[in-house]
Amino acid sequence: MAAVRKSERLMNLLIMLLVQRHFVAKQRIRSILYPGSSDEAFEKMFERDKEELRSLGVPIEVGNIDAYFDDEPGYRIQPDQFGLPPIALEADEAAVIGLATRVWQHARLAEATTDAVRKLTASGVEVDVSALDIVEPRLSADEPSFDVFWEATQDRTEVAFEYRTASSTEVATRHLQPWGVARHSGRWYVVGLDTDRGEERVFRLSRVQGEARKQGAAAAYDVPPGTDLQALTRRLAPEPAPEAATLLVRRGAGHLLRRGADSVETDVVGPDDATLWDRVVLTRSGLGLADEVLGHGSAVLVEEPLALRAEVLARLRAATGAPHDPTSSTGAQR
């Protein structure tokens, strides 16, 4: 768990220094992010965390909290220095960069983000949450078992879990030495050695039933040298059947969708008059297409198939807390 705690702490420190408008005193940082630590432990962790963030290119600025008194130094990150300057890209370049920057959002780190802002607000600190836009994740890892498998790959600890295959309703207990987690065709998989069968296997995280459990000691096994998680996942995971989809795409948006489209019909009737709309028809694995549609926000709407539209709407409702509307799967995506 040490690697996860460190990740949370770094994320918390980044957010704390980014959302405040003024320098933050070291003791305030300690009381909120390092509670219960001794003086020596705090100094060591804080110095290491600052240096690690700086090594990642985060510009942590040091200055006096009161400009008129030489008091304790404070720390902050100015959003205009942390963000990238405006960059002009061609349409194809923008599509590639947009895809590359859709990093996964670890469920625990998302909670840490909310927790950091909540603690700052509760302590009376004025925060600017708009500064978080420059570190906003775009792709979620929302399977409940993701945390356990991710931690186990870092610790090299065996995991026991109940699993249901696609071809059976039976649930069986499996034991795995996880080598890593990978995303393939819009789904998360864990790859590793199935100790019950003595073979390398891949398991889809959404088919894990109940709570996965780490078992045994850390550093209990080694990952085979040269292991290519993506190649293993592609080889071992079943290929989803492709299906046709019809999307309404705002003019000037959805470049990656357009690039692989079977056809593009321009100047069609869209859900609003704010921009022009095009109808894009493409053949794609339905597993990953929902992620692509959601990644474009209100610039892409699903016309067909109904199952894809229903999935997009369900995930939007889950993200916004909106109640389920049984008629919405056949209506317009809003």
Structural domains of the chain ordered from first start = 2-140 (no CATH), 146-236 (2.30.30), 242-321 (no CATH)
Q: Is the pLDDT of residue 28 over 90?
A: no
Helices and strands in the chain, H and E counts: 11, 14
Q: Is the pLDDT of residue 60 over 90?
A: no
Q: Is 258:300 a contact under the CB 8 Å cutoff?
A: no
> Which segment, 84-98, 108-122, 181-195, is predicted with the most confidence on average?
181-195
Contacts of 254 (CB under 8 A, 6+ apart): 247, 280, 296, 299, 300
Q: Is the pLDDT of residue 114 over 90?
A: no
Write the single-letter amino acid at 97. Answer: I
Report how far residue 220's alpha carbon sits from residue 292's, in angstroms, rounded to the nearest whole number: 38
Which of the pair, 90 or 54, is modelled with greater confidence? Answer: 54
Task: Identify which of 210, 101, 87, 91 has the alpha carbon closest to the alpha carbon of residue 148.
Answer: 210
What is the pLDDT at residue 71? Answer: 64
Write the single-letter amino acid at 76. Answer: R
Name the phi and psi angles at 6, rounded to 5: -65, -40
Q: Is the pLDDT of residue 179 over 90?
A: yes
Return the structure tokens found at 13. 């420190």
How does 214-243 read in b/e, with b if 16+ C-beta sit within 10 Å?
A: beeeeeeeebeeeeebeebbeeebeeeeeb
Report how far residue 142's alpha carbon sits from residue 104's, in angstroms, rounded to the nearest whole number: 9
What is the pLDDT at residue 290? Answer: 78
pTM: 0.44
What is the pLDDT at residue 263? Answer: 93
Q: Is 224:177 a contact under the CB 8 Å cutoff?
A: no
What is the pLDDT at residue 151? Answer: 86
Averaged pLDDT of the chain: 76
What is the pLDDT at residue 118? Answer: 57
Give 139-158 pLDDT, tens digit per residue.
445 577 888 998 898 889 99
Name the phi and psi angles at 41, rounded to 5: -65, -40
Write the single-letter amino acid at 87. Answer: I
For strands 208-215 and 277-285, give the pairing: unpaired
Q: Is the pLDDT of residue 164 over 90?
A: no
What is the pLDDT at residue 86? Answer: 53
How does 261-270 read in b/e, with b if 16+ C-beta sit within 10 Å?
A: beeeeeeeeb
What is the pLDDT at residue 248? Answer: 96
Which of the pair, 306 or 69, is modelled with greater confidence? Answer: 306
Give 209-255 pLDDT, tens digit per residue.
999 999 999 999 999 998 888 888 888 876 666 778 999 999 988 88
Task: Identify which of 269, 268, 247 has the alpha carbon closest to the alpha carbon of residue 258.
Answer: 247
Average pLDDT over residues 68-96: 61
Name the phi and psi angles at 217, rounded to 5: -85, 160
Average pLDDT over residues 266-271: 93
Of all residues in the chain, the percent with pLDDT exceeding 90 is 25
Give 280-332 pLDDT, tens digit per residue.
999 876 556 777 788 788 899 999 999 888 888 887 887 676 665 544 443 33
For strands 24-25 and 158-164, give the pairing: unpaired
Residue 23 confidence class, pLDDT cut points 50, 70, 90: confident
Average pLDDT over residues 104-118: 50
Percent helix, strand and coil across the chain, each rounded to 5? 40, 25, 30
Residue 103 confidence class, pLDDT cut points 50, 70, 90: very low
